[in-house]
Amino acid sequence: MDFGKSKIRVGAINKEASKKNFFYESNYFTDYSSAEIEIEKIITNLEKNTNEYLENINLMIDSPETLSISLSLSKNFDGSKLKKEDIQFLIQDAKQQVLRNYSNQNIIHIIVKNYKIDNKNYTFLPTDINCDFLSIDITFICLPKKNIEFFKNFFLKFDIVIKQIFCSSYTKSISYKKNFTSTKNISFIDMGFDKTSITHYNENEISFFHVIPIGGNHITKDLSKILNIDLIYAEKVKLLFDKDENILLEKKLSLDLIQKIIFARIEEILELCIKSIKLNHNLDPSYQFQLILMGDGSKILDNKFKEKIVFSKEIDLLEETTQDICEAALKLSKGINKQEVVIVPKKEIKEGFFEKLFHFFR
């Protein structure tokens, strides 16, 4: 289930027969009390179409409070053979450092970006190698504990347990990246309701994740303030200004002014994204990368309006379906990203010490 600030998407995927898969998208909502009504509809439709009782879910969420923490750890091995257990100890040490220093955060993704063994870089841990000095670069994607508790309590009202939580933007980018194999450097810009997430890949490996607390709802607020209309009508204007003339005629609104308001905010968001990417990579001017815009906030654009944006880079718009979004989490849970340490719920584990914390590169 992908639980957004204004819409919920759900997929029930049959392991044996894909024709029995069920996908559902909720109506637009503006607050979580309305979301409860939509969840009731989803449960009814899902159980009716799958003939199964809904007991637990894998949950995809995004938040402007999502935090990305990167750190490096190193250790001398004096020429001994490098073992998987050695890496596990370093990752566990890094994890504990994050939890000590960010006690209000929950870790939902652990990504090992790079291994440096005797000054040589590796994307994946090589086997059967002797090592004098090792350093590893790790990124942790975290959500505030209060957010986790909110969703846990929200679904308990419906007797549903959350099995695993995914960062929606990061999870989708991992899945969609396979469609851009000819491009080594690429940034996915996911514009949501109240945030925009940046997931950057360098040489086809994730190198950067960041969240900017500005999204599509800021465009709605701009329209509401400048045009002197309420937020609900402003949302209609944002989505339908080029599709329904009556929306403009009813309030005598200027199409040209509406476009200027919308495009100005989008240009600002994109420039902030580019600035963030360059700051985090210390890029030289010759560095080339592809920019992919996705998410509900980007749907107000299409090819004819894309050309009107005054922006320094070419933008590609990515069309997503509910099936695409839900299957992205399924793929990641099966180990599609070999750089990620797959966290496993403790209650499902009957293994050794480290396996109680995570399966290592499943």
Render pLDDT for 113-128 as a digit per residue (tens, 0 to 9): 889 999 899 888 887 8
Instruction: Say what the pLDDT of residue 168 is.
Output: 96
User: Would you say residue 82 has pLDDT above 70?
Assistant: yes
What's the Cα-to-Cα distance from 312 to each of 12, 218, 267, 274, rounded to whole Å? Answer: 41, 22, 10, 9
Give me Rg for the CA atoms of the chain.
Answer: 22
Render pLDDT for 218-235 as a digit per residue (tens, 0 to 9): 999 999 999 999 988 998
3-state secondary structure 229-295: CCHHHHHHHHHHCCCCHHHHHHHCCCHHHHHHHHHHHHHHHHHHHHHHHHHHHCCCCCCCCEEEEEC
User: Would you say residue 6 has pLDDT above 90?
Assistant: no
Phi and psi angles of residue 137, each rounded to the nearest 5 degrees, phi first: -105, 125
Strand order in the sheet with 2-3: 22-25, 8-12, 2-3, 56-61, 161-167
Round to whole Å and give the CA distance between 110 and 123: 15
Chain center to CA of 27: 21
Token look-up 């750190």 returns: 71
- Nearest residue to 290 via CA among 206, 187, 212, 205: 187
**What number of residues does the chain have?**
362
How would you class 322 by CB atoms within 10 Å of its CB: exposed for 0-12, middle for 13-18, buried for 19 or more?
Answer: middle
* Helix 255-281 with 216-227: angle, nearest 10 deg: 140
Residues 85-114: what's their mean pLDDT? 92
Name the percent of the chain lying above pLDDT 70.
89
User: Would you say residue 348 has pLDDT above 60?
Assistant: no
